[in-house]
Structure 1
């Protein structure tokens, strides 16, 4: 088995169950068992005390099987396991810094918005989510285990023992989501100085049959909100209604329609494991991507004037202008939630104040919240602002009315057919970087930290494009925006013509 293929940046991802043609299972119960043992070994290299590891799952149908298996590996390695059941990714970090009963580490079993047959693991310690190098080390440890150790593996066994008959761990259960929900409720109550600050507001929550239903029942309801129009709160790992993804057009159409149909004041949508979110205003207009970044930036910059807002690379020119008019500094960085989080931390370490790292995908980490990538905390902060605005007869959308949006935008994904897709992709990017200035009105955006970003200033274009290499797939995504009718098509046509000498490996 090639353990390295399970690495997906700072996560582990794989195919957990059969059902999709051409996708072979590589994240089995046996694999999870070994990963559990490897994670405990990784922890022991850094912590010599008694270890306890919390394990949570999203709604995927393979979650219970993988949870049983990884807990077996944890316990047979001498650590205690805390079975948390249905949980969110942010909660599995928060349990490691719990003021009363903290765990040494947390594992979230999730594959975000990927199809039902996929699953994976996210790992946390009190210092935060693990980095790419940490995942590589865990998989190297796993690779060193004797395969014969799992030859008679039984994931249904609840009796934990190891070949050396040394000390084994215990298993306990804990409904940490109730505790985590109480933290969010308390945050909003204290900020609003009211017991039920959302009374009189109808709020639609769309959990997409993932793990986010708790936000309606355990956060909004105690705060006085009417949640009667909420939808898809029940966990269902086949995701029968829509993909739980705030970037997905079908998902956003569903929540927007629900808000309009019910006459709600606000809509909230989460991804499967609740580390991403977006909202919808009372007119049924989505506030996601650049609009969501603008909204939270407005709030952050009033709390922390002059702060640097770290975003991913595909944000718009209008967003940069919006942040600048509010006295902030917009720092575009690389795609990938760990990339923007680490860059925000780095800026603070060198004296440049940054209180937020956020991606257009809906990933958002706030300095006040341990730099935790937490879709529920982001929404809690927005709800606190919504409660304050409601007392003035205003709504959240009023904070971003001056955000300039492009007239046209488009994303194209060029598939790379070359075997060494990363090397070929880099060659294409270097070519565009060298040749872009030969096109009249085109100039490179500097500084730029990912791919090639080009400003297109000809009157018939009036826009920009970003060509970059995907973080994990053999793809060159191209994002184009324009402020004039037909501008995107002209930019695309000119770029395709420029690419002809090196386009042999593109589809």
Structure 2
């Protein structure tokens, strides 16, 4: 069986449940069995062990039980041992691999972990993320796992099969976050008197309200969608989703909360809302955690490619250096790790999507840890009579911003055509005196437009996994983005392999 088509970057993703017309299940119980077995074989080879212990957790998706059953079968029937952690967050699956004390000694710690999740994707999707004690697997390593998964399946004799046990790690994970806040604030209930609400979107993040905020003294009344719901009937659990952010913003205003928190399904991403109901998301979220970390020690902040010019100015004003890199949380994290190894102190790797990884926390993208860091700052600011938003009062925001996603027409070689288009756009812009290329650009093409022609910037890049040309534009003045998009549209009209309706619709507004 060829499972390579299920790979999505560093993860495995597929359709795991029926319920959406035209979408046929391809991530089956059998696939989960084979892939989990492949991971065990990969671990055995890597660790030079004949038997490994693998932990498996899952989010709230409706296919979780089916895939867990398959994965457990693949692990134990290949002669390896299984630890079922139940409903879990993705970051907790890595953190349990670091916690020898929890397991009563280093020899009892699992050798690897699998998280069953498909992040914010629709209810019928699911997937697998893999962890070793060092990190999440890289794309090439996932390829190796899937190649092993494709080998003919053969169960070992009954007497040689592995053992299975169930033990949740989430209570310990939550307790560690509580301890971090108490230690930093030197107080048992530093959030007493604060109303802080959580929107878990029906995902795995509901624990944060009862098991982190309540012990710290916070009032969580008004929190929503804390109960796991694999159909996500409230809204998509995604801090980037407009409807999801509107929902938590409205809730903050409705109950007059001091702070609002929103997680994605598996809690590796987060967003926030201040006491006025304004989003702390994307550039504002990056600025806030940057301000907190840079106040402790100056260093470099690595972000993805779609951040605003105002963010770079903000980071510099706070004593930091901004490295605007590429989309893809692994790209951002690996660049931060590389810079640290080269002697450049880099405390933070963060995407506008809400993936944030801190050097002090294994460079693990952990939404709950990010929020915990913000709450420490909130508690300290409150003692000085300040709000958390005061830390980013000097962040310059664009007057306008737009994201357009141009689809390639079916059955075309979109990677080759897209790469050629980007090179042509570079050549085109070089003939326009009012357009200048951005310095230190690592993805696609980023162009700056002078005041008369849009007073802003444009980024055109290839999607990491889809036949799409994502395009971002920002301007310092109203009407500026239309000027920029109009210029781009004039250039794109000669490329008949693109659907230009996103630009056409935007220009009609």
TM-score interval (norm. to shorter): over 0.9
Alignment of 1:269-348 (within 5 A): 269-305=262-298, 307-348=299-340
Structure 2: runs of 5 or more not aligned: 104-108, 501-509
Secondary structure of 2:484's match? helix
Select the residue among 145, 158, 171 that pairs with 1:138.
145
Q: 8 Å contact 2:2–2:147 — kept in the other structure?
A: no
Decide whether the 8 Å contact of 2:412 with 2:497 is kept in 1: no
* Post-superposition offset of 1:63: 0.5
Question: How much has 1:390 moved relative to structure 2?
Answer: 0.7
Match of 1:254 in 2: 247
CA distance in 2, matches of 1:58, 1:419: 36
Alignment CA distance shift 1:443-1:65 (3 Å): same
Q: How far apart in 1 are the matches of 2:159 and 2:436? A: 65
Deviations 1:218-266 (A, max 9, x none): 0000111001111110000000010100011111111011111101100
Which segments of structure 1 move beyond 6 Å, counting only runs of 4 or more? none
Residues 178-199 of structure 1 deviation map (CA, whole Å, 9 limit, x = unaligned): 0100110111110111111111
Unaligned runs of 5+ in 1: 150-161
Q: What is the distance in 1 between the residues matched to 2:118 and 2:304?
A: 21
- Which residue is 1:419 aligned to? 412
Asked whether the 8 Å contact 1:77–1:169 carries over to 2, the reply is yes
Asked if residue 115 in structure 1 is aligned to residue 107 in structure 2, the reply is no
Q: Does 1:184 align with 2:191?
A: no
Q: What residue number does 1:13 align with?
A: 13
Aligned 8 A contact 1:481 1:488 in 2: yes
Report 1:93-172 matches (<5 A).
93-100=94-101, 101=103, 102-146=109-153, 149=154, 162-165=155-158, 167-172=160-165
- Residues in 2 aligned to 1:286 and 1:94: alpha-carbon distance in whole angstroms: 29
In the alignment, structure 1 residue 44 sits paired with structure 2 residue 44 = yes
Distance 1:349 1:220 in 2: 36
State the distance in 2 between where 1:81 and 1:498 align: 56
CA deviation map 1:56-88 (0-9, x unaligned): 110000011101110110111121111111000
In the superposition, the TM-score normalised over structure 2's length comes to: 0.95
Deviation at 1:279, TM superposition (A): 0.7
Deviations 1:247-305 (A, max 9, x none): 11111111011111101100000000000001100100010000000000001111111
Q: Which residue of 2 aligns with 1:478?
A: 471
Contact conserved, 1:467 with 1:476, CA < 8 A, in 2?
Answer: yes
Contact 2:406 2:498 in 1 (8 A): no
- Output the CA distance in 1 between the equivalents of 2:257 and 2:263: 17
Report the Cα offset of residue 130 of structure 1: 0.4
Residue by residue over 1:198-226, the C-alpha shift from the partner in whole angstroms, topping out at 9 and shown as x without a partner, is: 11100010000000000000000011100
| Distance of 2:146 and 2:453 partners within structure 1 | 51
For 1:145 and 1:108, how far apart are their aligned partners in 2? 24
Match of 1:86 in 2: 87
Once the 2 structures are TM-superposed, how far is the Cα of residue 439 of structure 1 from its aligned partner?
Answer: 2.3
Shift of residue 123 of structure 1? Answer: 0.5
**Contact preservation (8 Å) 1:460, 1:484:** no
Question: Would the aligned equivalents of 1:440 and 1:458 in 2 still touch at CA under 8 Å?
Answer: no
TM-score, normalised with respect to structure 1: 0.95
> How far does residue 460 in structure 1 lie from its aligned partner after superposition?
4.0
Does 2:228 align with 1:235? Answer: yes
Match of 2:237 among 222, 230, 244: 244
Structure 1 SS opposite 2:451? coil
**Residue 23 of structure 1, CA deviation:** 1.2
Give the total of aligned pairs: 492
Moved more, 342-351 or 456-465: 456-465
